[in-house]
Amino acid sequence: MQISATSFETDFNSLPISTFWSNDTEKELKMHKIHAYPAKFRAFLVSKSLEYARREGVKVRSIADIFCGCGTTALEAKRFKIEFWGCDINPVATLIAKVKSEQYNQSILEKYFTRILGAYSTQSIGVPEHYRLDKRLNYWFSKAQISDLYKLLSLIRDVVPKGKYRSFFLCAFSNILKPTSRWLTKSIKPQVDPIKIPEKVKNAFEKQYHFMLRANQESIGIYTSEIKARIVNKNFFKVAIDEPFVDLLITSPPYVTSYEYADLHQLSTLWLGYTNDYRRLRKGTIGSLHFLNDMKVEVNSLNEIGLDIYYKMYKIDRTKAKSIAKYFLDIKNAIDKAYFILNPGALAVVIIGNTKYINIEVDNAKFLASCMLTTGFKRIDIFKRKIGPKILTPYRDSKGRFSQNANHRKVYSHEFVIIAKK
């Protein structure tokens, strides 16, 4: 559907499913799977976006992702031999993204792995008091696991010099933290599994390393390190950009959520030393209420679509209404800045879904599309796409896991691809 200023009466949910944007027939590179990440972007959407851009006559020499997450767009841009620029406020995300965008000498990886494992089996390393007494670490890990993880992390830093190879092993370490902890597997909320038997640290690390080694082997010859992929760990709003430089923006902003992304990555942020209090990383994230000042004046700057949703929610839950308003204001600012970084004639492809709180429809897609229209984009096309394979259930249980039970909470099984031309 193509929209204009008078098209917002249309219910986006009533659009037919686009087979072009839903048919995922491509085999993803193993490198995309080296680290678990919530709400991960589907790799085939990048090739679809490039195909769409070619149809529109857009010559793509550079791709950007302003919410690059774990680097799916970055890796695909390198696969298509196109320069990439991306940023994300989450240091765990940018660590994964940078590791995925590199290539490594297999023999060098094997050398470091052998040294790490050999030292792990023979050395005894004392755990500093602040690790032994840390309340969050003791909440998630047994004392034995803390000792083993500390030893492994220390050896990685001792054996592997700073640079991309150390980042490779730190990424491997990061991805074994949840399996070796009491964290409830596949839950979208941080919670303890009282019956879980955590994996042994050494076994989990070996398994993780060998998968990443195979992923690196597969990538050799598919993409090269000659193509630049610049990934910045920074809030997009605070990135200094002097002039437009992007031909194709492909991004998927976080939805209005009931959880904080910083909370989901707390194990990695604590162990890797990004912060001694993971809650500090909530600051600046899209839609976060933490560290937020009074918003009475800012709410009035929302457009008609945003205000309508805000006031509906305000009657039911004022805190949630404030969260939604903050999210919409952040999205508006992101669209304004995204417009600036695009070259004339460039395309912006944004994938976003809607949410629902207490039977109030939070129409993220319609609000975002309206912002694009008022920002100055010439034309906006809206497509509805099915999320995941046909077997994906639309229900989640109280722990956030997928469920077949129709009495559980229903979540959306589709999202929207919004394409705008500058």
Walk along the chain (422 residues) and give the pLDDT tens digit of each residue: 666 555 667 789 899 999 999 988 888 999 999 999 988 889 999 999 999 999 999 999 999 999 999 999 999 999 999 999 999 999 999 999 999 999 999 999 999 999 999 999 999 999 999 899 999 999 999 999 999 999 999 999 999 999 999 999 999 999 999 999 999 987 778 899 999 999 999 999 999 999 999 999 999 888 877 888 999 999 999 999 999 999 999 999 987 654 567 788 899 999 999 977 766 766 666 666 554 555 555 788 899 999 999 999 999 998 888 888 989 999 999 999 999 999 999 999 999 999 888 888 899 999 999 999 999 998 899 999 998 654 344 445 555 454 455 554 555 689 999 999 99
Is 157 part of any domain? Answer: yes
207, 213, 218, 222: CA torsion to nearest 10: 140
Closest CA to 232 of 50, 32, 93: 93
Q: Clarify whether residues 358 and 398 are in a common domain.
A: yes
Task: Note the pLDDT of residue 186.
Answer: 76
> Is 99 domain-assigned?
no
Q: Are residues 28 and 84 in the same domain?
A: yes
177 and 233: one domain? no
Examine the domain organization and report whether 351 and 313 are in the same domain: yes
Secondary structure element (H or E) that encloses residue 15, with its range: none
Classify strands 62-65 and 355-357 as parallel, antiparallel or unpaired: unpaired
Same domain? For 215 and 234 the reply is no
Asked if residue 347 and residue 233 are part of one domain, the reply reads yes
Query: Are 252 and 388 part of one and the same domain?
Result: yes
Write down the pLDDT at residue 10.
Answer: 76
- DSSP states along 284-346: TSTT--TT----HHHHTTS-HHHHHHHHHHHTT-HHHHHHHHHHHHHHHHHHHHHHHHEEEEE
List beta partners, residue 50. Answer: none
Is 101 part of any domain?
no
Task: Tell me if 187 sits within 8 A of 399, measured CB to CB.
Answer: yes
Quick one: 166 and 299 in the same domain?
A: no
CA 285 – CA 261 distance, rounded (Å): 8
Pair 239, 386 in one domain: yes
Instruction: State the pLDDT at residue 195.
Output: 95
pLDDT at residue 404 in the model: 54
Structural domains in the chain (count): 2
272 located within any domain: no
Total-model pTM: 0.91
Report yes or no on 67 lying in a domain: yes
pLDDT number for residue 413? 82
Each as own residue / partner, the long-range contacts of residues 268-276 (CB below 8 Å, 24 or more positions apart, any chain) are: 268/92, 268/174, 268/177, 269/91, 269/92, 270/134, 270/136, 270/137, 271/137, 271/149, 271/153, 271/173, 271/174, 271/177, 272/91, 272/92, 272/95, 272/170, 272/173, 272/174, 274/91, 274/92
Domain assignment present for residue 271? The answer is no
Q: Rounded to whole angstroms, how far apart are CA atoms 11 and 363? A: 10
- Regarding whether 387 and 246 lie in a shared domain, the answer is yes
Q: Please report whether residue 368 resides in a domain.
A: yes
Confirm whether 172 is domain-assigned: yes
> 189 and 233 share a domain?
no
The SS3 assignment for 247 reads strand
> What CATH number is given to the structural domain containing 326?
3.40.50.150
Q: Are residues 25 and 45 in the same domain?
A: yes
The domain of 169 spans 106-219
